[in-house]
Structure 1
Amino acid sequence: MTDALIPPPDVLIIGAGPAGSACARVLAQAGVDVLLVDQHAPGRDKTCGDGLIPDAHQALARLGLLDAVMQRAQHVAHVGCIGPGGGRVDVPGRLAVLPRKQLDALLLQAARDAGARFEQARFEAPLEEAGRVVGARLKRGDDLLEVRTPWVVLATGAVPKALSAAGMCERHTPSGVALRGYVKAPQMVGKIQALEVVWDKALRPGYGWIFPAPDGHFNIGVGVTNSHEDRDGKGQKKDANLRAIFDAFVAKYPPAAELMRVGEKQGEGEQWLKGAPLRFTLEGARWTRPGLLVTGEAAGSTYSFTGEGIGKAMETGMLAADAMLAHRHEADGDAAVRARYEAGLAALKPKFKLYEAANRVNAHPWLADLVIWRARKSERVLRRLSGVLNETSNPGNIVSLKGITRLFLE
């Protein structure tokens, strides 16, 4: 085992998704020597809805990448909310769709353009001395490498293996699961123009979506929240068959049926549909320990209810970078870095709790019918729904008992 092949960086970031690449770019732009590591080669695919809602636009703007992303993305003007009774309301917002394979490659390249180094390697375990993380053990091909560094950032996504190896995992089971595929259907361009989200009792406790992507492609999928539960101290998957829910979505929603009938699946056989776990509400992992920060979906940066997580992943990655930069020249800044980062995540936590409260719509889809009915009749209710997208309205209040009562008064 040797560390001679990789010069030790100031910060080692494990995971080159939105959180890791955002963190790396901010640090590298400030002159920090960053090594960004991912077990996959650049351009890897990632199961995701690919929707870029306003928080993602804000994060990309701070990174200086909004224009570059929007040049490649499919611009969208509305989220189309469709209830089980067939009612629909189009909620305006600043929205776009760009497949994660393209988005993540762009973010990684931006980090490298800023000066970050990249290595394809797999994280095995942290290096520890006197209770502090001082680096990581990596596997690159057949070689085992030890990389020493003042800081390690784990941005390894929802799969808990790296969290467990680092002693940071508090919940091994995911918060939810999703299944998605791409369909090429130029003939559907213009017919599906919004980020369409569909609720139906056949899809409980989840929802279906169709998002228009660039070049006549569509991202279609289903998500299930609260997909696992504890039984006798062990996390187990509830009785929710994602493929059956996907088939029910196609059967229940005519535009989905038409898309599947006229479109061309992108992928071979049943492999065109890909599943992935989700981690919600900034829960399920310790955020810090001496010498180590956990960020992105590894820290639970995805919203429950909607499953949106790209913007918050980048935001948490930048919070980690900000914390390290604020105390980089202090002789013993470990505690200060950790305190600042944890305070930043704690400040975000109320937003996640609000989405968790709104998650009752997925279990009780008739609530979607009620909200849609009122939004079609009340401009004020529609503005409140748009405010949910822009993080200026409380999504939990809309479907609370008090919120439902207010719906009839607005």
Structure 2
Amino acid sequence: MTDFPAAEPLAAPPAPALPDTCDTLIIGAGPAGSACARWLAQAGRQVLLVDQHPLGRDKTCGDGLIPDAHHALQRLGVLEAVMARAERVNHVGCIGPRGGRIDVPGSLAVLPRQVLDELLARHAIAAGARFEQARFERPLQDADGRVCGAVLRQGDTEREVRARWVILATGAVPKALAAAGVCERHTPSGVALRGYVQAPAMVGRIQAMEVVWDRSVQPGYGWIFPAPGGHFNIGVGVTDSHRDLAGKGRKKDVNLRAIFDAFCQHYAPAAELMRQGRLVGDLKGAPLRCTLKGARWTRPGLLVTGEAAGSTYSFTGEGIGKAMETGLLAAEALLAHGSDDSAARGHYEAALHALQPRFQLYERANRINAAPWIADLLIWRASRSPRLLQRMGGVLNETSNPGNLLSLKGIGRLFFE
């Protein structure tokens, strides 16, 4: 996506040769890897951050920054820099199959991942981390089987980099997880398709981060998010998109392009957006790994973080905030326990276990995608109940339990509030 300007460099580019050793080798320069790199580098750790793509590569995503992302960015000290480039948004617009709508307030923004990821990586570099473009091939192991670095490829050349710790932040594609011996599920939790549309005439007409449960997108959902510079992020997603059989499976009968076309045809704002604007670049699809499942979180010498660990919420498909949060948890575990491998891994696993109930609640809430009539019911009641609207805002801000709204008891309560 070349229409969005790249982030301004914060540091001179590093020397081209890979070092032979480092304290922490972080594979993947997305939100999780860069958050981890910045936190460790600020504490004085020697950090090598590598990615197979150059800084500023495009990443298929909805680009929404909801409150958990704002909190993580604030901790990292980069919220102001991010918000200076982002499109601020005040509401999530929830639109049901029958056309009902409710706008849920929150601290929200939209910034394309091409810009966000480069900005985060450059702030990690400014804190002292070193970035190199290289592809992870396989881990190095010592005589006891502990990961002690990695084999990285640059062009036709393979180099060994020794490290006290390796952090795997490689996203939803399972290849690196499998190479590291920590993949438990090769199939994704869901799939999504996203495009950017430049439509200055639609600025001000679509102001909320619209999430749409229309019949045209069943068994999934659609979205339109206003982005900077008169752009809009438009896409569709389907959770539970694959049949999983012993860690491997196949895709269900889901045609994302057909769902996207149906969304643009039957949802009036999407149809108007496509008429008024122009598609910038190609539509891009991506897998999702959700609910903190599908990978071992640790093995001696190695931690798995971000979407590689399943840090995306299944109900909303939101993963940027939780990716950064898990990256920070990995860094905190290493800083707390130094070279004590067992203690560091135990610290990190305990922190992810503490998050797991929240992911399970969002997994329960995911039933709305399979039964969109529930969205109609929620929207109808919330339009008449300030208390329910407040509870929906609490779900967005992670102060309310989404499972309570969508349990049998919660649904029954809707008729009497």
Query: What is the aligned partner in structure 1 of residue 23 from structure 2?
Result: 10
- Structure-1 residue corresponding to 2:408: 401
- Which residue of structure 2 aligns with residue 195 of structure 1? 209
Distance 2:367 2:160 in 1: 46
Does residue 369 (structure 1) correspond to residue 365 (structure 2)? The answer is no
Are 1:222 and 2:227 counterparts?
no
Q: Which residue does 1:161 correspond to in 2?
A: 175
Partner residue of 1:74? Answer: 87
Residue of structure 2 equivalent to 1:327: 337
Q: Within 1, Cα distance between the matches of 2:246 and 2:307? A: 26
Take 1:106 and 1:7, find their aligned partners in 2: how far apart are those partners? Answer: 27
- Relative distance call for 1:197 and 1:233 in structure 2 (3 A) is closer
Q: Following superposition, which runs of at least 4 residues in structure 1 exceed 4 angstroms of deviation?
A: none
- Deviation (angstroms), 1:231: 4.9
Match of 2:291 in 1: 281
* Mapped pair 1:260 → 2:285: no
**Amino acid in the other structure paired with 2:399:** T
Task: Please tell me whether residue 179 in structure 1 is matched to residue 189 in structure 2.
Answer: no
Please give the per-residue CA displacement for 1:50-104, whole angstroms capped at 9, x wherever unaligned: 0000000000000000011001000000000000000000000000000000000
Partner of 1:314: 324
Deviation at 1:131, TM superposition (A): 1.4
What are the superposed Cα offsets for residues 183-236 of structure 1, whole Å, 9 maximum, x if unpaired?
Answer: 000100010000000002331221000000001000000000000013587411
Q: What letter corresponds to residue 137 of structure 2 in structure 1? A: E
Cα distance per residue 1:357-390 (max 9 Å; x no partner) = 0100101111000000000000000000000010
Counterpart in 1 of 2:128? 115
The correspondence of residues 232-247 of structure 1 with structure 2, limited to 5 A, is 234-247=248-261
Equivalent residue for 1:91?
104
CA distance in 2, matches of 1:5, 1:225: 39
Do residues 386 (structure 1) and 409 (structure 2) align?
Answer: no
Counterpart of 1:149 in 2: which secondary structure? strand
What is the DSSP-based 3-state SS (H/G/I as helix, E as strand, rest coil) of the residue aligned with 1:72?
A: coil
CA distance in 1, matches of 2:161, 2:249: 34
Write the distance in 1 (CA, Å) between the matches of 2:95 and 2:266: 11
* Aligned residues of 2:306 and 2:326 also touching (Cα < 8 A): yes
Q: CA deviation at 1:5?
A: 4.6
Give SS of 2:383's match. helix
TM-score normalised per structure 2: 0.95
Find out whether 1:295 has 2:308 as its counterpart: no
- Where does structure 2 lack aligned partners over 5 or more consecutive residues? 1-16
How large is the RMSD of aligned CA atoms in angstroms? 1.0
Q: TM-score, normalised by structure 1?
A: 0.96
Equivalent residue letter for 2:49: L
Q: Is the 8 A contact 2:185 2:247 kept in 1?
A: no
CA distance in structure 2 between the aligned counterparts of 1:158 and 1:349, rounded to whole angstroms: 18
1:193–1:233: structure 2 CA closer, same or farther, 3 Å change rule? Answer: closer
SS at structure 2 position matched to 1:215: helix
Counterpart contact for 2:70–2:79, Cα < 8 Å = yes
Please say if residues 20 and 160 of structure 2, whose CA atoms lie closer than 8 Å, have aligned partners that are also in contact.
no
Alpha-carbon distance between aligned partners in 1 of 2:213 and 2:318, rounded to the nearest angstrom: 16
- Where 2:234 maps in the other structure, the secondary structure is strand
Distance across 2 between alignment mates of 1:5 and 1:319: 27
In structure 1, the partner of 2:7 is none
Cα distance change on mapping 1:96 and 1:408 into 2, 3 Å:
same
Name the amino acid aligned to 2:162: R
> Partners in 1 of 2:367 and 2:285 — Cα distance?
23
Name the CA distance, whole Å, in 2 between partners of 1:376 and 1:292.
48
- How many residue pairs get aligned? The number is 400
Match of 2:68 among 24, 38, 55: 55
Q: 1:10 to 1:252 in 2, by over 3 A?
A: same
* Distance (whole Å) between structure 2 residues aligned to residue 299 and residue 306 of structure 1: 17
Cα-to-partner distance string for 1:138-169 (whole Å, 9 max, x where unaligned): 00111100000110000000000000000000
| 1:30 lines up with 2:43 in the alignment | yes
| Paired amino acid for 2:290 | F
Q: Which residue of 2 aligns with 1:340?
A: 347
Q: Give me the whole-angstrom Cα distance separating, in 2, the residues matched to 1:407 and 1:252.
A: 29
Identity among equivalent pairs (%): 75
Answer yes or no: is 1:213 the counterpart of 2:227: yes
Distance of 2:316 and 2:249 partners within structure 1: 22
Q: Which has the higher mean CA deviation after the structures are superposed, 393-402 or 185-194?
A: 393-402
Using the TM superposition, give the Cα deviation of residue 342 of structure 1 relative to its aligned residue in structure 2, in angstroms.
0.3
Rounded to whole Å, the distance in 1 between the matches of 2:346 and 2:378 is 40
Contact 2:185 2:248 in 1 (8 A): no
Deviations 1:115-143 (A, max 9, x none): 00011000000001111001100001111
Letter in 1 for 2:313: Y
Structure 2: distance between partners of 1:343 and 1:205: 34
